[in-house]
Amino acid sequence: MIFFTMPVNDDLFFNNSSNRCVMFCFFRKIRSFSLLHKPQQLSFCVAWVFWGAIVPVQAQPEQALGAWQLSTGWQDYREPQMNLTGPELGVHWQSQKLGGYTLEADAYLGLQNYSSVPSGRLNSVLNLDTHWRALRSSKAQPQWQYGLAVHSHANFFRGTTSLGFGGYDRLSTQLWLPVRWHSAGAQPWAVDAGWLLWGEHVSRLSQVNTSLQDVTNQQRKGAYLQISKKVNTDLGEMEPYARWAWVDDSDVRWVTVAPGVAKGTFEPQNNRLQVGLKWRIR
């Protein structure tokens, strides 16, 4: 959610005409998805897409495709004056060893409930997060890995909140420096940490009003920590995990809100908590 450094006239941004401080939610207009107005049908379609995409690859040789996992979990995203919480489904892939390197990818698709005292509530908000990593093992200490990672986050808001606020897309891309330690043994613990090197956050304000400019903010400070453990069971390999991420306030950019009137905007600091269970079919 973008924050303005000063109040502006809400007629430029919202469906209601009362004056408020400008802070509102977001989301993309996905015109091809009329199901976004029907949360139950969307939930079914999301589950069907994930199942249909993953089940076929489970039958393929692991040597050719690497290791695949499914996951189910819960995400809680918070900013100072709003939060998004809800369930998510995940798909996870890890390549075979490529010399000393390993490639990994995660994708989380969720439906979240939006809540904010100033701007109201909205249920079944679509959220998509991806993580891409290239890790190198340490020859001297093979339990350690380090490398580079790219994360993306996309929040899509279609509709109006309970207080009449509209919204716009929020899209971010971030470059991270990841480090991993894992214990030895057949059922290892793993601890992942990362430091933000660079981030770019795009707020599509023009979707609210065509007279507004889209805003791009830079993010420079952030960190994450994840703990997981692999457990062998009769149903396959399970991996419970908990992940916490923090990103600081972005820089301030100026946006024209009326002819001859500009306001400073920034993305506030945020915390993201994810807990869940990964499952690898034997």
- Select the more confidently predicted residue: 276 or 258: 276
pLDDT of amino acid 180:
97
Ordered by where they begin, the domains of the chain are 3-280 (2.40.128.100)
What b/e sequence results for 67-78 when a residue is b if at least 16 CB atoms lie within 10 Å of its CB, and e otherwise?
ebbbbebebebe
- Select the more confidently predicted residue: 25 or 256: 256
Amino acid at 56: P
pLDDT category of residue 160 using cuts at 50, 70 and 90: confident
88-101 pLDDT, tens digit per residue, is: 999 999 998 888 89
Residue 13: CB atoms within 10 A of its CB come to 21
- Select the more confidently predicted residue: 84 or 47: 84
Residue linked to tokens 């600091």: 269
Q: What is the value of pTM for the model shown? A: 0.79
CA nearest neighbour of 1 among 211, 274, 263, 215: 215
* pLDDT > 90 in the chain, percent: 55
pLDDT of amino acid 21:
32
191-200 pLDDT, tens digit per residue, is: 999 999 999 9
pLDDT of amino acid 100:
87
pLDDT of amino acid 159:
74
pLDDT of amino acid 186:
84
Residue 280 phi, psi dihedral angles, 5° rounding: -115, 120
pLDDT of amino acid 2:
57
Q: DSSP character for 139?
A: S
* pLDDT value at 267 more than 90: yes
* pLDDT > 70 in the chain, percent: 77
